[in-house]
Amino acid sequence: MSRILETEYQQVLNEPELQQQSVCEQEEIDPFLHAQALNNNWQALQSDVNLKGSLQQQLREQIAAEDQTSINQTDLSASAISVVEEAILSPELNKSALDEKLNTLFDRQCRVYAEANIPKMLRTRQYICASGLVISPDHSITTIRDTLRVRAFMRGIDQGLKQLRQRFSGQLHIAYPACGPFAPLLLPLLSYYKQQGLYSSQDITVTLVDIQEGAVMALSALVKAQGVEEYIQEIVCTDASEFKPQKPVHMVVLEAMQHGFSREGHFVLAKHYAKLMVDDGVFIPQQISIGAMLNVAQREYVDQWGEGSEAGSRDAILAERTDLGEILNVNVQSLRMLKERVMDESTQLVECETLGLPFLKENHDKQTLMIYAKVNVFGDEWLGEYESGITHPLPDLQVCINFTPRDARPGDLLVNSGDRLTFYYCMNGLPGFLVTKAVPSADQKRVLTENSLSDSMEACNV
């Protein structure tokens, strides 16, 4: 019996009712009746909700106190290795197995995070810097649970390293800007490489960069706790978009985006690191294809996920979409070439594609413009729509297609089928796409007139 239970039991025995029982015990009574009486009392005790609750609470506290003991290095790296094995060695995805392993790793990382005693102010600070939103360390730690994203990136990095090994001799330098407090896409791989003897610290060295002091404190603690210090070139607390590494960079690992390629500074950071990376280096992700589509928002965001929506009905809803095409492809070549348009000292834009709005037979005035991203991490490793938080299509509710909103808001763009939309990527503040109506050329005007003529003829049944 645990100490707590023993004490609690003593208290229970001191209850008047039970004391009476104890007195009876001293008299000569039938042992069978005595046992039955005890049993009745025990049942009464068990149904005492307050007592049961207080015992349970004390047990919980005891378990929590025991769990607070320092996480040991073997447990942490064993857990990291088990995640990597599940992610990169199994050719088929077993999501529940990987979820479970990631959860265990996450729990252990959280213990290191708690023990690092990072002041609350540094854990919760969230702000907007020149390149975009800077999420607080407390919020960033959970990104390791984005299972398919973690799997695709680990597999991509592993394959990318194999390719680099064939191209370059000597030590490979990996830069991981905006890595967050746990650098989750790379740190577990280091434990695996170390245990397997695949890459030593002579083969790879890593620079971790994060703008949040709290994230850097967490990283230092985690690297030590995981026993991978020898692989770390430096952990730098700075704005990664201005950072110049000490050594040539062979691989960049970057994931600082949100859905619709919005809000966080991925683009600005990617542009900076694409220029820093050696020719023939590997950029992870290799490309991000961002496109625009139309669908009825209710169908896309509600019906598709509603109870009872089966694969068949999902396919039907996906078939209702109208794909407008790719608006931007982010890869090393495009990042090195894209021309910025400077509007003023704090506003830079990149002009992306111009796409036409088609004439639709159904729901033509109920369409919402949505921006989606597909991430090609490396080789055949892709992260498709809805597979991760970063690939959920983002609606742009300010683009009003074939209708005039009753509650017009500043910034609304009223457009119609036949119009052409030019997409700009805004690099500052909260980054994201800005949609404008393109001025039609003479040819486009002619097609427009023909279309609206045939439309009105159709409408009049001519």
Ligand X SMILES: C[S@@+](CC[C@H](N)C(=O)[O-])C[C@H]1O[C@@H](n2cnc3c(N)ncnc32)[C@H](O)[C@@H]1O
Q: What is the DSSP string of 442-454?
A: HHHHHHHHHHHHH
Compute the least distance from the CB of residue 275 to ligand X, in Å. Answer: 16
**Does 300 help bind ligand X (rule: CB under 6 A)?**
no
- Using the Cα atoms of residue 314, residue 317, residue 323 and residue 327 in order, give the sign of their dihedral: negative
With CB under 6 A as the contact rule, the residue among 164, 185, 204, 401 that binds ligand X is: 185
Residues 6 or more apart in contact with residue 448 via CB below 8 angstroms: 418, 440
State which of residues 80, 211, 221, 369 lies at the interface with ligand X (CB under 6 A): 211
CA-CA distance, 373 to 386, in Å (whole number)? 9
Residue 140 engages ligand X in binding (rule: CB under 6 A) = yes
Give yes or no for residue 265 binding ligand X (CB under 6 A): yes
Q: Does 210 help bind ligand X (rule: CB under 6 A)?
A: yes
Minimum separation from the CB atom of position 282 to ligand X (A): 17
Residue whose pair of structure tokens reads 């707590």 in the numeric block: 4
Say if CB 348 and CB 284 are below 8 A apart.
no
Contact 393, 385 (CB under 8 A): yes
In angstroms, give the least distance from the CB of 135 to ligand X.
5
Identify which of residues 3 and 244 has a Cβ nearer to ligand X in the complex. Answer: 244
Going by the DSSP 8-state scheme, the letter that residue 339 receives in this structure is P
Least CB distance to ligand X at residue 186 (A): 9
CB of 430 to ligand X, least distance (A): 12
Chain position carrying tokens 């002041």: 119
Which CB atom, from 208 or from 328, has the smaller least distance to ligand X? 208
**241 touches ligand X (CB under 6 A):** yes
Q: Please state, in angstroms and rounded to a whole number, the distance separating the CA atoms of residues 60 and 63.
A: 5
Q: How far is the CB of 131 from ligand X (least distance, A)?
A: 5
Amino acid (one-letter) located at 41: N
Nearer to ligand X, 267 or 372 (CB): 267
Q: Which is nearer to ligand X, 7 or 126 (CB)?
A: 126
Size of the site for ligand X (CB under 6 A): 23
- Binders of ligand X in range 80-139 (CB under 6 A): 129, 131, 134-135
Q: How far apart are CA 253 and CA 176, in angstroms?
A: 5
Contact 141, 242 (CB under 8 A): no
335 binds ligand X (CB under 6 A): no
CA–CA dist 302, 234 (Å, integer): 46
3-class DSSP state of 395 = strand
Q: Is 256 in the site for ligand X (CB under 6 A)?
A: yes
Residue 158 or 210 having the CB closest to ligand X: 210
Residue with tokens 């799997």: 151
State the nearest-atom distance from the C-beta of 392 to ligand X, in Å. Answer: 15
Closest CA to 71 of 104, 111, 107: 111
Task: Answer for the pair 225, 71: CB distance below 8 angstroms, yes or no.
Answer: yes
- Partnered with residue 371 across adjacent β-strands are 292, 394
Closer Cβ to ligand X, 129 or 296, answer by number: 129
> Quick one: which H or E segment has residue 223?
helix 213-226
Among 82, 143, 295, 368, binds ligand X (CB under 6 A): 143
**Whole-angstrom distance, CA of residue 80 vs CA of residue 103:** 11
* Interacting residue with ligand X among 77, 205, 212, 226 (CB under 6 A): 212
Residues in 165-184 at the binding interface with ligand X, rule: CB under 6 A: 177-180, 184
Residue nearest to ligand X (CB): 180
- CA pair distance 47, 258, nearest whole angstrom: 51
> Between residues 237 and 296, which has the closer beta carbon with respect to ligand X?
237
Nearer to ligand X among residue 259 and residue 292 (C-beta): 259
Q: In the set 175, 209, 222, 228, which binds ligand X (CB under 6 A)? A: 209
Per-residue buried b or exposed e for 123-149, using 16+ beta carbons within 10 Å of the residue's own CB: bebeeeeebbbbbbbbebbebbebbbb
Rank residues 86 and 239 by Cβ distance to ligand X and give the closer one.
Answer: 239
Q: Whole-number minimum distance, CB 380 to ligand X, in Å? A: 20
240 is a contact residue toward ligand X (CB under 6 A): yes
* 284 near ligand X (CB under 6 A): no
Q: What does the binding site for ligand X look like in residue numbers (CB under 6 A)?
A: 129, 131, 134-135, 140, 143, 177-180, 184-185, 209-212, 215, 239-241, 255-256, 265
